[in-house]
Amino acid sequence: MSNILIEGGTIVGEGRKLAGWILVSGDRISAVGEGRYEGEFRGRRIDARGMFVMPGVIDDQVHFRDPGLTYKGDIRTESLAGVAGGVTSFMEMPNTKPATT
């Protein structure tokens, strides 16, 4: 099981922001804290100073343009763009030719 400590960033969630750390054990967040992490730690450290750390975002208006308008973007290009921005889920709003339902 791998451990990851994300520290120094601004954690956004639960209706507030705090400067702190997130401890990940395996594939789960095991602890979140404010300020500096003071415990003993073995594993990978990620320096998030100057960054926002937040849960994955749900994009509720995505236009994949498949079929018919793929020169504007398709499921591959638009999905990759979403992942780069932290999107973990989406709701597609069809905007295609022919129209989809």
21-45 tens-digit pLDDT? 999 998 889 999 999 999 889 999 9
Distances (CA, A) of 62 to 45, 55, 71: 34, 19, 16
Beta bridge partners of 3: 25
For the chain, give the longest Cα–Cα distance.
59
**Rounded to the nearest 5°, which phi and psi values hold at 78?**
-75, -35
Q: What is the mean pLDDT of the chain?
A: 89
**Residue written as token pair 């763009």:** 81
- Give 47-77 pLDDT, tens digit per residue: 999 999 988 888 998 888 888 888 988 889 9
**Rounded to the nearest 5°, which phi and psi values hold at 30?**
-105, -25
Written as one string, the DSSP assignment of 26-85 is: TTEEEEEEES---S---SEEEE-TT-EE-PPEEEEEE---TTT-TTT--HHHHHHHHHHT
